[in-house]
Amino acid sequence: MKAIILSAGQGKRLFPLTENTPKCLLALGSGTTLLSWQLNQLAQAGIKEAVVVTGYQAQHVEQEIDRCRNQLHIRTIYNPDYATSDNLRSVWHAREEMTGDFILLNGDTLFTADVVTTLMASPPQPITVTTARKDRYDSDDMKVKLKDGLLHAIGKTLDLDSVDAESIGMIRFQGEGVAHFRSTVERIVESGKGDAVWYLSVIDTLAKLMDIHITTIPGENWCEVDFPVDLQRARSAITQWAMTGDQGLEAAAS
């Protein structure tokens, strides 16, 4: 199983923290960055290969990756359009890597290795979206609506009364799901609409054509880093995970 990590963005909503530092290289503590934590947790979950899509200050991201290569085999793909497009374009640049089963994850999703193992252990399906539930959702959440246990719709603008969960930004593709996803991404980009949409809009489109399955993980086992307050929560989260035995800081910083 391969992991593809979308880490091309600057993270402007985190200014001034990301004025000169890519979001994926923000420090979490003890020499750990968001990217190094992700790579460490993937390795601990048994992932052997990772592809990182870079963009903003790619040379610095490459340096961080060099520091993490002892954990798993890593290579990079550069997205030259990172400043003028959304993350569907990063997915498009990585499309040649989508020839077999893979996990796609956002570069700002922080998680424990247990999240990956739970996804890997879920029943084989063409597309499986990792979700979490909470008491209330806000406008920035990538909200999920279910129907008969399957993903029916996904997006930030779903009616809050219809929301059942949120996507954490980690999806597994297997078998025919790989080809369906890749061909839909290519079709959208070729139509000229690929720079202004998220890749999860592809999942929303495919949900009208095929079964999209979900696997649910505990909300306390993940967080995302979009705003400065999220960074503080992320730092607190990994400290708590380390205290409870969930993959400590030392391994991620090594």
How far apart are alpha carbons 252 and 138 in whole angstroms? 31
pLDDT of residue 245: 64
pLDDT of residue 6: 98
Question: 105 vs 116, 126, 148, 232, 245, CA distance in Å?
Answer: 10, 16, 25, 21, 24
Which ranges of the chain have pLDDT less than 50?
247-251, 253-254
Contact in structure between 34 and 108 (CB atoms under 8 Å) = yes
Q: Which one of 3.30.70.100, 3.90.550.10, 3.40.50.620, 3.30.540.10 gives the CATH number of domain 2-222?
A: 3.90.550.10
Query: 233, 120, 241: which is closest to 170 by C-alpha?
Result: 120
How far apart are alpha carbons 182 and 197 in whole angstroms? 15
How far apart are alpha carbons 204 and 200 in whole angstroms? 6
pLDDT of residue 71: 84
pLDDT of residue 197: 86
Contacts of 44 (CB under 8 A, 6+ apart): 113, 247, 251
pLDDT by residue (tens digit) across 127-172?
Answer: 999 999 999 999 999 999 999 999 999 999 999 999 999 999 999 9
